[in-house]
A = this chain, B = another copy of it.
Amino acid sequence: MSENYNAMWTDLGLDLEAHDMLLNVLGQAYQDIYLAQENRPEGMGYFDFVMSEVHGLRIKELMDEKAIGRKIIGSYCVFVPEEIVLAANATLVGLCSGADFATEDVERLLPRNTCALIKSSFGFKVGKVCPYLESADMIVGENTCDGKKKSYETLGGMVDNLYVMDLPQVKSENGKALLKAEYQRFKAAVEDLTGVAVTAGSLKTAIQTVNAKRAALHRLFTLRRADPAPISGLDALLANQVFFYDNPERFTDSVNKICDELEKRIESKQGVFAEKTPRILVSGCPQAVPNWKLPMIVETAGAVIVGEESCVGERGTRNLTDESGETVEEMIDAIVDRYFMVDCAIFTPNPDRLAHIEQMVADYRADGVIHYGLQFCQPYLMESIPVETALEEKQIPCLRIETDYSMEDVGQLKTRVEAFVEQLR
């Protein structure tokens, strides 16, 4: 950390001792997992810096925004439309949910059989170690899975600014009407929070800003089609993760700079791993910072991850919002159209996701798919069996993994992943 942020963290109500412990663990993990990689693109230096300052400089920036009256909105899900947040002069940040914390306390509030991601989000609150959560003027929950939907009832009593967004379960006309009604209600709530009305001008700019972030990632995704892979799955995942935290324009620029560099690498056939390294697509549950467990295992087992079919990955960013609308109404419709395409497993049926997985396998020339399921995440675990069946019918090897954030099963997972990679050679 470049300076001492203790005063800021104390003001935010963090538990300094616990928070220091967390940062130490995070820093060590980053060192061991990220900085230990070889042949990294130079542009990743930016993300190294971001991660070293993830609870420092970025929070200070948010506090500076707050000081001049801008509002911060925290979210746990890709269904919260950043376009609307930006257009109403607020900043959207993803909230911490990628590491176990205060688990014993959390299990007094939530059933033990709750997925690690939800438990983590509670742990960061109970343990007072998430400066994003504490700096947020509004926290947005959403009725996605049962676990999140029901846990927000408890979270509502722990924070004083929880807003819950309803979501459809079916991609029907009624479902789309519900999403639109909810986005309009959300727009009104954000406008109410910021005191700034969304205008056609501000919404258009916001749509362009968020699309530019996504487009930069699309460029990165496309470059990952090359063999040898010009960037590791770990580094690409980090870019997908930082997407949720960083200043949008700076993020876009940084990713594009990395892409410039990767293009040169590809031209000179330079990669992070040798040509013909087995290529893996990871599909399933989101992997939030610092949940780098699976890619760490895969990429130290002789394979490279070439794509993430995930909310923290292509599922979350692949679709752009149409920019041609001229009125707020037209642009809200475009936003609804865009988010309604997200093929989250909460929808039933959800055939688009399977089609997308197969498309990604082809696009990224993946040799196999690892389905990443968080234990107790019913929607993705339920989908994983038909996904595996469908892939195997197309002779695409698939390994279904069910895990959590603990390190207890790393040895066992390593063995399974190594055997799977061996099968792909």
How far, in whole Å, are A164 and B170 apart by their CA atoms in the complex? 10
Asked if A191 is an interface residue, CB under 8 A from chain B, the answer is: no
Asked if A384 is an interface residue, CB under 8 A from chain B, the answer is: yes
| A189 smallest CB distance to B (angstroms) | 14
How far, in whole Å, are A256 and B423 apart by their CA atoms in the complex? 67
Question: In the assembled complex, which residues on chain B have CB atoms less than 8 Å from the CB atom of A108?
Answer: 385
**Residues A382 and B174 in contact, CB atoms below 8 Å apart:** no
Asked if A145 is an interface residue, CB under 8 A from chain B, the answer is: yes
Asked if A34 is an interface residue, CB under 8 A from chain B, the answer is: no
How far, in whole Å, are A121 and B376 apart by their CA atoms in the complex? 20
Candidates B181, B373, B385; contact of A110 at CB < 8 Å = B385
CB-contacts of A237-291 with B (<8 A): none
Q: How many interface residues does A have (CB within 8 Å)?
A: 45
| A262 smallest CB distance to B (angstroms) | 38
How far, in whole Å, are A149 and B373 apart by their CA atoms in the complex? 18
CB-contacts of A170-193 with B (<8 A): 170, 172, 174-175, 177-178, 181
On whether A143 and B166 interact (CB within 8 A), knowing A109-B385, A348-B150, the answer reads: no
How far, in whole Å, are A341 and B9 apart by their CA atoms in the complex? 46
On whether A174 and B169 interact (CB within 8 A), knowing A153-B348, A348-B152, A378-B150, the answer reads: no
How far, in whole Å, are A187 and B77 apart by their CA atoms in the complex? 36
Asked if A114 is an interface residue, CB under 8 A from chain B, the answer is: yes
On whether A381 and B111 interact (CB within 8 A), knowing A166-B172, A172-B166, A178-B174, the answer reads: yes
**Residues B166 and A114 in contact, CB atoms below 8 Å apart:** no
How far, in whole Å, are A169 and B349 apart by their CA atoms in the complex? 17
Asked if A383 is an interface residue, CB under 8 A from chain B, the answer is: yes
Question: In the assembled complex, which residues on chain B have CB atoms less than 8 Å from the CB atom of A167?
Answer: 169
Asked if A65 is an interface residue, CB under 8 A from chain B, the answer is: no
Candidates B111, B152, B154; contact of A378 at CB < 8 Å = B111
On whether A379 and B146 interact (CB within 8 A), knowing A154-B386, A385-B154, the answer reads: yes
Asked if A311 is an interface residue, CB under 8 A from chain B, the answer is: no
Q: Taking A147-B378, A150-B379 as given, write out 5 further A-B residue pairs in contact, using a Cβ cutoff of 8 Å, ordered by the A residue number.
A: A111-B381, A113-B376, A114-B382, A154-B382, A164-B348
